[in-house]
Amino acid sequence: MRIFFLFSLLALGYASSPSPEFGSRCRCTADQACWPSASVFSDFEKSISQPLIYPLPPASACYPSSSPSGNCTEALENWDDGNWRANHSGASQSPNFETYTWRNGTISACYKETSLGVPCGQGSVPVVGIDAREPSDIQAAVNFAVKHNLRLTVKNTGHDYFGRSSGRGSFLVWTHNMKDISYNASFVPQGAPRHSGASTAITLGAGVQWHEAYDAANAQGQILVGGASAGGSVGAAGGWLLGGGHSALSPKYGLGVDNVLEMTIVTSTGEHLTVNDYQHADLFWALRGGGGGTYGIVTSVTYRTYPSFGLVAGYFVATANNTDVMRKVVTEYVRVHPSLSDAGWSGYSTLSNASLTFFYIMANGTEVAANSSMNPFFDFAKNLTSEGLTISTALTYAYPSWYAWYAGLFAHGDQNGANVQTGSRLLPRETFEYNYKELANALLELDGVAFNFVGGGQMAKINPDSVGVNPAWRRTLVHITFGTGWQDGSTVEEIQQNIGALKAKIKRIRDLTPFSGAYFNEASLYETNPQYTFFGFHYPILKVIKLKYDPHSLFVVQEGVGSEDWNSDLTCRRTLL
Ligand SMILES: Cc1cc2nc3c(=O)[nH]c(=O)nc-3n(C[C@H](O)[C@H](O)[C@H](O)COP(=O)(O)OP(=O)(O)OC[C@H]3O[C@@H](n4cnc5c(N)ncnc54)[C@H](O)[C@@H]3O)c2cc1C
Ligand SMILES: *[C@@H]1O[C@H](CO)[C@@H](O)[C@H](O)[C@H]1NC(C)=O
Ligand SMILES: *[C@@H]1O[C@H](CO)[C@@H](O)[C@H](O)[C@H]1NC(C)=O
Ligand SMILES: *[C@@H]1O[C@H](CO)[C@@H](O)[C@H](O)[C@H]1NC(C)=O
Ligand SMILES: *[C@@H]1O[C@H](CO)[C@@H](O)[C@H](O)[C@H]1NC(C)=O
Ligand SMILES: *[C@@H]1O[C@H](CO)[C@@H](O)[C@H](O)[C@H]1NC(C)=O
Ligand SMILES: *[C@@H]1O[C@H](CO)[C@@H](O)[C@H](O)[C@H]1NC(C)=O
Ligand SMILES: *[C@@H]1O[C@H](CO)[C@@H](O)[C@H](O)[C@H]1NC(C)=O
Ligand SMILES: *[C@@H]1O[C@H](CO)[C@@H](O)[C@H](O)[C@H]1NC(C)=O
Ligand SMILES: *[C@@H]1O[C@H](CO)[C@@H](O)[C@H](O)[C@H]1NC(C)=O
C-alpha cells in the first residue's frame, strides 16, 4: 500500500514536470559562448539596487605574491573567523568548497599559502552576482537567470558542508546583506482565519545571522530556537532552517522548522509569495526541512519566540590514558542518555578514544533537578580515576538566562577556514536503550565525534508529517558528526584516501542504525541512498512540490530534491524528461 502510494506520487512528479524550454540540456556557465556579454550584464545592472558583485576567493588578496592585489594580512588574520568569511561573497566557510577539481585531477584553488606556488584559481567560486537587498533584486536576478539559462547559486553565509552555495562559473544571488529584523508581540500569519491566536514573533531578512537574531530577541526579553557556532555566524533564515535547524533548545521547543510561522520567497517564475499554513501550505511544508536552494529563494522568515528563562548547565571534561577506561566511561555515558533526556538535558559534546567533553543544559531547570539527574554519571566517572581517567571538570552551574549561557560560550571564537568533509548519523533513542554497548564501541572507533544531544523531548512528540523534514529526526536522541580534513596542496589521490576512510566510518554507523537517516545540513556527499537518508519517505512528496513551484528547475543543489536528474556539476540534465 505504502509502496504503491509512493510510486504513484513519483509518476505524478515526472508527468507534471515541464519540458525544458531552454534550447539545451545544459546550463550556461561563464566559460561558454552562451554567457551573456558585458553589455547584457550592464543592462541588467540597471534593474537592481546595488552594483553587480564579482566574487573572488578570499586568499586572492595575497596574489600575485610579488605584489598582492589586496590586504593579505587581513585575510590571513581573519581566516578562521566565520563572520569575516560570511562578509565575503567569494568565501565558503570551508575553503575546499571554493576549489574545483577537473577530471584530469588538476585542482583549481586559491590557497592562502602562496609558497605552494599554485596560481590563484577561481575554483568553484561564482564569477558574478547580485548583492541582494530587496525581494525585487532577487526577482530581477531570477528572471535574468531563467532568460539566459544561467547556472545559478544562492549563498547566504557559505557554511554549507556540501558546497551547495558555490558552483563553478555560476551566477550568484548573495543574500548576506538582507539584514532587516522586526519583532512583533502579536503576530498573526497572513490569511489566517479571523480570531486566530497571535504569537510573539520575530521576522528576519534572509541574511540575518544567529548572533544578530539572538541579540534582537534578547533585547525583547525573548529567546528563539537557533543554531550554535562560534561567533553565531551561521545564517538564521537560510540553509540552516531550510534543512531542519537543530538547537540545544530543540528538545524543549522542536527544530527550527517546528517554529516557523511564515516565510516569504521568490520562486523561479519570479513571483514573491507569502507562505504559511494558510497560503501555499504545500510549499510551506516543503520549505520546512526539504532543503535549501531547492524551491526558490527565501527572502524572510518569521519565527515564534518565547519568554526568556534561566537554565542549569552541566560541564564535564575528562581524558584517559588507556582505551579500556575510555570504553567504560563512554559506555555509561551512552547508557544514561535516555534518562538524561527525560530529565530535560540537551547540549553538545565531543568524544574520542582519549577524551570526553560535554556542555549540556537543563533549560528552565532547577539546580536540585540538575544535580540529582547528573550526579550519578559524575560519580561513576570519578570512580574511574584509579583506572586512568583524569577529570578536570564535573559540575553544574546555574545561569540567569539562556542568553547568558549562549553569550558565555559562543559569542566569540573561530571554528572555520579549514578543509573539511563530514559524515554524520541521526542516532535513534532505541539504539541507546537496546544496543548501548555496541553504540559506544562504534563511537570510539569513529575516533573523533561531535555528539549533538539535540533530539528527544518535545521535539520527538511532534507529528513527523507536520513538516517536510526527515521524519527520522523524531526518533533521534543524538545527531553525531565526524569528519576528515587535509592540508592545502594535497593531491586528489591524497584527498580521496581521506574520503575513503570517511566512507568506512559512515558505513560503520549506518550499519548499526539502518532504519534511521542523516541530517541534510551536516552530512556527506557519499551516502549510498541520499534521498532516503536525508528525507525518508517524505522524498517523493517533496519532489512533487519542487516541480510544482520550480517549473524551470532553476534551483538545484548537491544531494537536494531533484538533483538526481542532473550531472555531478549540476550543469546538465542526465536525461531529457
Ligand atoms: C561552524 C558550523 C556550525 C553549525 N552549527 C549548526 C547548528 O547548531 N545547527 C544546525 O542545524 N546546523 C548547524 N550547522 C550546519 C548549517 O545548518 C549548514 O551549514 C547550513 O547549510 C548553513 O546555512 P547558511 O544559509 O548559513 O549557509 P549557505 O552555505 O550560504 O547556504 C546553505 C544552503 O542553503 C541555501 N540557501 C541559503 N540561503 C537561502 C535562501 N534565502 N533561500 C533559499 N536557499 C538558501 C544555499 O543555496 C545552500 O544550498 C553548522 C555549520 C557550521 C559550519
Ligand atoms: C590590512 O589589514 C590589517 C589587519 O586587519 C590592518 O591592520 C591594516 O591597516 C590593513 N592595511 C591596509 C593597507 O588597509
Ligand atoms: C562583517 O561586516 C559587518 C558589517 O560591515 C561588520 O560590522 C563586521 O565587523 C564584519 N565582521 C568581521 C568579522 O569582519
Ligand atoms: C586539466 O584540465 C584543465 C581544464 O581543462 C586545464 O586547465 C589543466 O591545465 C589540465 N591539467 C593538466 C595537468 O593537464
Ligand atoms: C504585528 O502583526 C500584526 C498581525 O500580523 C499586524 O497587524 C501588526 O501591524 C504587526 N505589528 C508590527 C509592529 O509590525
Ligand atoms: C585512538 O585514536 C588514535 C587517533 O586519534 C588512533 O591512532 C589509535 O589507534 C586509537 N586507539 C585505539 C585503541 O583505538
Ligand atoms: C519554567 O519552570 C516553571 C517552574 O517549574 C514553570 O512554571 C514554567 O512554565 C516553565 N517555563 C517554561 C518556558 O518552560
Ligand atoms: C563507586 O565505586 C564504589 C566502590 O567500588 C561502589 O560501591 C560504588 O557503587 C561506585 N559508584 C558508582 C556511581 O558507580
Ligand atoms: C593509567 O593511569 C593509571 C592510574 O594512574 C595507572 O595505574 C596505569 O598504569 C596507567 N596506564 C597507562 C597505560 O599508562
Ligand atoms: C549542585 O552541584 C553543584 C556542583 O556541581 C554545587 O555547587 C551546588 O551547590 C549543588 N546544588 C544543589 C542545590 O545541590
In the chain, which residues fall in CATH 3.30.43.10? Answer: 2-177+538-565
Integer CA distances (angstroms), 331 to 126, 325, 442, 541, in order: 46, 10, 10, 39
Round the CA-based radius of gyration of the chain to a whole number and report it.
24
pLDDT at residue 413, rounded to an integer: 79
Q: Write the DSSP assignment of 124-157 as a string of letters.
A: TS-SEEEE--SHHHHHHHHHHHHHTTB-EEEESS
Work out the pLDDT band at 11, boundaries 50, 70, 90.
Answer: very low
- Tell me the three state secondary structure of residue 222: strand
In the chain, which residues fall in CATH 3.40.462.20? Answer: 311-400+415-536
CA of 309 to the centre of ligand 10 (A): 19
CA of 448 to the centre of ligand 6 (A): 10
Does the beta carbon of 8 sit less than 6 angstroms from any atom of ligand 2?
no
- Tell me the three state secondary structure of residue 224: coil
CB-based contact 241:250 (threshold 8 Å): no
- Give the number of the atom of ligand 2 that is nearest the alpha carbon of residue 71: 1
Give the DSSP H or E segment for 420: strand 420-428
CA of 462 to the centre of ligand 5 (A): 28
Determine which residue's CA is closest to atom 43 belonging to ligand 1.
Answer: 297
pLDDT at residue 3, rounded to an integer: 35
User: What's the rounded mean pLDDT across residues 59-65?
Assistant: 96
pLDDT value at 250 more than 60? yes
d(C-alpha 254, C-alpha 396), whole Å? 24
Domain 311-400+415-536 CATH assignment equals 3.40.462.20: yes
CA of 261 to the centre of ligand 9 (A): 55
Residues 6+ apart with CB under 8 A from 568: none
pLDDT value at 5 more than 60? no
Q: Which ligand is nearest to the CA of 398?
A: 10
CB-based contact 536:470 (threshold 8 Å): yes
Q: How does pLDDT run across 474-523, given as a tens digit for each residue?
A: 999 999 999 999 999 999 999 999 999 999 999 999 999 999 999 999 99
Residue 117: Cβ-neighbour burial (10 angstroms; 0-12, 13-18, 19+): exposed
CA of 307 to the centre of ligand 5 (A): 19
E strand map for 124-270 = 128-131, 152-155, 171-174, 181-187, 199-205, 222-223, 260-266
Determine which residue's CA is closest to atom 38 belonging to ligand 1.
Answer: 238
Residue with cell 609558497: 115
Amino acid making up residue 183? Y
Q: State phi, psi for 369 to the nearest 5 degrees.
A: -65, -40
Work out the pLDDT band at 577, boundaries 50, 70, 90.
Answer: low
d(C-alpha 509, C-alpha 428), whole Å? 12
d(C-alpha 487, C-alpha 496), whole Å? 13
Residue with cell 575554483: 123
CA of 360 to the centre of ligand 8 (A): 24
Pocket of ligand 4 (CB under 6 A): 102, 104, 106
d(C-alpha 399, C-alpha 313), whole Å? 7
Q: Burial code of 204-232, b = ≥16 C-beta within 10 A, e = fewer?
A: bbbbbbbbbbbebbbeeebbbbbbbbbbb
Pairing status of strand 306-307 against strand 171-174: unpaired
d(C-alpha 225, C-alpha 427), whole Å? 21
Does the beta carbon of 201 sit less than 6 angstroms from any atom of ligand 5?
no
d(C-alpha 293, C-alpha 297), whole Å? 7
Cell of 441: 564501541
CB-based contact 99:124 (threshold 8 Å): yes
* Least-confidence region, from 2-16, 182-196, 491-505: 2-16
* Average pLDDT taken over every residue of the chain: 95
CA of 306 to the centre of ligand 7 (A): 11
Cis peptide before 64 (omega within 30 of 0): yes
Does the beta carbon of 375 sit less than 6 angstroms from any atom of ligand 10?
no
- Within 13 A of 327's CA, how many CA atoms are on the CB side? 8
Cell of 538: 517524505
Q: What percentage of the chain carries pLDDT values higher than 70?
A: 96
pLDDT value at 14 more than 50? no
CA of 401 to the centre of ligand 6 (A): 39
Residue with cell 538533483: 563
Cell of 491: 593531491
pLDDT at residue 576, rounded to an integer: 58
Q: Which ligand is nearest to the CA of 369?
A: 10
Q: Which ligand is nearest to the CA of 314?
A: 10
pLDDT value at 78 more than 90? yes
- 62, 69, 72, 73: residue to mutate for ligand 2 pocket, most atoms within 8 A of CB: 73
Q: Write the DSSP assignment of 535-574 as a string of letters.
A: HGGGHHHHHHHHHHH-TT-----TT-TTGGGB-TTSSBBS
Determine which residue's CA is closest to atom 9 belonging to ligand 9.
Answer: 388
pLDDT value at 546 more than 50? yes
pLDDT at residue 8, rounded to an integer: 38
CA of 42 to the centre of ligand 1 (A): 31
CA of 245 to the centre of ligand 1 (A): 9
pTM for the model:
0.95
Determine which residue's CA is closest to atom 14 belonging to ligand 10.
Answer: 368
Q: How does pLDDT run across 382-420, given as a tens digit for each residue?
A: 999 999 999 999 999 999 999 999 999 998 878 899 999
pLDDT value at 300 more than 80? yes
d(C-alpha 81, C-alpha 539), whole Å? 35
CA of 364 to the centre of ligand 7 (A): 6
Note the CATH architecture for domain 2-177+538-565. 2-Layer Sandwich (3.30)
Pocket of ligand 6 (CB under 6 A): 323, 353, 447
Residue 437: Cβ-neighbour burial (10 angstroms; 0-12, 13-18, 19+): exposed
Determine which residue's CA is closest to atom 17 belonging to ligand 1.
Answer: 240
Q: Which ligand is nearest to the CA of 164?
A: 1
Amino acid making up residue 69? S
pLDDT value at 150 more than 50? yes
Does the beta carbon of 186 sit less than 6 angstroms from any atom of ligand 5?
yes
In the chain, which residues fall in CATH 3.30.465.10? Answer: 181-307
Does the beta carbon of 83 sit less than 6 angstroms from any atom of ligand 1?
no
Residue with cell 533530539: 455
**CATH code for 181-307?**
3.30.465.10
How many other CB atoms sit within 10 Å of the CB of residue 410? 20
Q: How does pLDDT run across 152-185, given as a tens digit for each residue?
A: 999 999 999 999 999 999 999 999 999 999 999 9
pLDDT value at 17 more than 70? no
d(C-alpha 194, C-alpha 432), whole Å? 46
d(C-alpha 19, C-alpha 521), whole Å? 30
- Tell me the three state secondary structure of residue 569: coil
The phi-psi region of residue 58 (left if phi > 0; otherwise alpha if psi is between -120 and 50; otherwise beta) is: alpha
Closest CA to 179 of 307, 46, 108, 86: 86
